[in-house]
Structure 1
Amino acid sequence: MIVFRWLLSLIFVIQMYVMLAVFAVVFAPWALISRNGAFAACHLYARWVIASVRILCGLRTEIRGEVPQDEVIVAAKHQSFFDILVIFGTLPRPKFIMKRELIYTPFLGQYALRIGCIPVDRGRRGAAIAKMKADVAKGRTDPGQLVIYPQGTRVAPGVIKPYKAGSGLLYQQLDQPCVPVATNVGVFWPKRSILRKPGLAVIEFLPRIEPGLPLPEFLALIEDKIESNSNRLMAEAGFILTPAPASRG
């Protein structure tokens, strides 16, 4: 049975990357003319992946909570590539704080820049935060939901990794509400694995945090909200929470 699931997962992964190229090429003329074309391509691709992983691997998705439609900061738990796609496919106008290396990824990098994602060099932490704030300030005229991963990277279920200050600095600078997001996606779509497990992957939009909180209070609040609710969702999925040692970086 596990071999059969692995083969279906392999087929899914292959077609997922093939279709990434297909969508990117087909939508390229429209995307070059208008950001609307780039958003349309990315939204449609996200929905394609969500549908195809359900059909081939039995992995269903569920969105909980109130999905923000206005300009907010979305501070999300990041466990795999799939939570990026589900969040993107759900929000009307998302743009992500992303690793600078991703802009060199074929198709993905070009479309990410076109929709307004903001690349950050994680190797230069102080400079990265300053540049991130400056880039966000430049892009404030573009409406949308700014998505940031407060831990700065994918974190596997059960791994403890500290929250960084970047989300709090943006919360202060932009003076916008922040919507925390919890997930259990990593239980079914593991980091650096081909196997996609059947089940119910949940993305949950939690009650928004209005602007005005002091930075330490805000950072403590989002960490508590995101971690406690992600742990709850993972427990619902049958994951036994036995924290692994913290990863470096």
Structure 2
Amino acid sequence: MLIIRSLAYQIVFYLIMAAILIVTLPFFFFLPHRAAIAVVKFWTGASMWALGVVAGTKIEVRGLEKLPKGGALIAPKHQSAFETMALFPLLSDPTFVMKRQLMLIPLFGWYTWKAGMIPVDRAGGSKALRKLAADSKAAAAAGRQVILFPEGTRRPAGAPPDYKFGIIHLYRELKVPVVPIALNAGLYWPRRSFLRYPGTIIIEVLDPIQPGLDSKTFLSTLIARIEPATDHLMAEAAASTNPPPIPAEAQTRISALAVAGTA
């Protein structure tokens, strides 16, 4: 049943994407920014709705009131492709920092460009960092929420944190609040797998980090907020009535929480 429901969701997911792209394609060049954002929000929202209906994977969002309406830097934990979609409908005017190559994908890439996503060349060195900062600063100044995954790429649930310099660079340059987000999506939507486990993915918006800290203090604060909160959410999933498979690394971190709680 798990395989059937997971495959069914994959089919529905691509059907939704194809239908939206085809229906809106005749109007593509005339779509204003807000309309393009609305299209992406509808697509991601419909995909998340289908995730619950078809695969039985529900979504719970906590701390929604902490999300800003104006310019900010959003720093989510990155465990799977789930958060690249699920976060979009929650924000008023979001823009993702994404690999430049994704914008070259026919149709899909065109819409990311139309919606004003921020491309980054990961092999571009300091020049790419300067452009990323300039583009992100312009977006934040326009009142948009810039979403940057602090670890750069998807990490397995429970893997040791591997935060990159990019989040520090943007914190220093943008001078806007950074909103950390913890989640346990990697347990229900594992990276590099088509399986979608039934249960509830929890997204927890954490207290914002205000601008003005030095780089070292900022990074340690960011990690201290995201990592323990993520561990607690993974522990909550493991203790649920229908728990997903818990990878060994995640189980180790969950066990450490239990030990710390009894110390």
TM-score by length of 2: 0.86
Q: Whole-Å Cα distance in 2 between the matches of residues 157 and 218 of structure 1?
A: 23
Q: Does 1:18 align with 2:28?
A: no
Q: Whole-Å Cα distance in 1 between the matches of residues 216 and 27 of structure 2?
A: 44
Deviation at 1:105, TM superposition (A): 2.2
Deviation at 1:140, TM superposition (A): 4.6
Q: For residue 63 of structure 1, what is the aligned residue in structure 2?
A: 61
Unaligned runs of 5+ in 2: 239-245, 254-263
Asked if the contact 1:151/1:163 (under 8 Å) is kept, the reply is yes
Q: Whole-Å Cα distance in 2 between the matches of residues 72 and 194 of structure 1?
A: 32
Q: For residue 185 of structure 1, what is the aligned residue in structure 2?
A: 185
Paired residue type of 2:78: H
Indicate the RMSD between aligned Cα atoms, in angstroms.
1.6
Q: How do 1:1-249 and structure 2 match up within 5 A?
A: 4-33=1-30, 34-65=32-63, 66=65, 67-238=67-238, 239=246, 240-242=250-252
Q: Whole-Å Cα distance in 2 between the matches of residues 42 and 29 of structure 1?
A: 16
Paired residue type of 1:17: Y
Q: Which runs of 4+ in 1 moved over 4 A?
A: none
Deviation at 1:31, TM superposition (A): 4.6
Deviation at 1:141, TM superposition (A): 4.8
Deviation at 1:123, TM superposition (A): 2.2
Deviation at 1:160, TM superposition (A): 1.7
Q: Whole-Å Cα distance in 2 between the matches of residues 105 and 132 of structure 1?
A: 20
Asked if the contact 2:139/2:146 (under 8 Å) is kept, the reply is no
Q: Whole-Å Cα distance in 2 between the matches of residues 199 and 140 of structure 1?
A: 35
Paired residue type of 2:55: C
Tell me: CA distance 1:31–1:178, structure 2 relative to 1, closer, same or farther (3 Å). Answer: farther
Paired residue type of 1:89: P
Q: Whole-Å Cα distance in 2 between the matches of residues 86 and 124 of structure 1?
A: 29
Tell me: CA distance 1:242–1:108, structure 2 relative to 1, closer, same or farther (3 Å). Answer: farther
Q: Whole-Å Cα distance in 1 between the matches of residues 138 and 68 of structure 2?
A: 22
Bigger-Rg structure (1/2) = 2
Deviation at 1:68, TM superposition (A): 2.1
Asked if the contact 2:71/2:139 (under 8 Å) is kept, the reply is no
Tell me: CA distance 1:137–1:144, structure 2 relative to 1, closer, same or farther (3 Å). Answer: closer
Comparing 52-61 with 104-113, greater Cα deviation is found at: 104-113
What is the number of residues matched between the two proteins? 240
Secondary structure, aligned partner of 1:237: helix
Deviation at 1:159, TM superposition (A): 1.4
Tell me: CA distance 1:208–1:140, structure 2 relative to 1, closer, same or farther (3 Å). Answer: closer
Secondary structure, aligned partner of 1:83: helix
Deviation at 1:108, TM superposition (A): 2.4
- For residues 194-232 of structure 1, what are the alpha-carbon distances to aligned partners after superposition, in whole Å with 9 as ceiling and x for unaligned? 110001101111011111111111011111211111111
Unaligned runs of 5+ in 1: 244-249
Q: For residue 241 of structure 2, what is the aligned residue in structure 1?
A: none
Tell me: CA distance 1:74–1:172, structure 2 relative to 1, closer, same or farther (3 Å). Answer: same
- For residues 16-51 of structure 1, what are the alpha-carbon distances to aligned partners after superposition, in whole Å with 9 as ceiling and x for unaligned? 112112112222345532112211111111111111
Q: For residue 257 of structure 2, what is the aligned residue in structure 1?
A: none
Asked if the contact 2:175/2:211 (under 8 Å) is kept, the reply is yes
Comparing 130-139 with 143-152, greater Cα deviation is found at: 130-139
Asked if the contact 1:103/1:113 (under 8 Å) is kept, the reply is yes
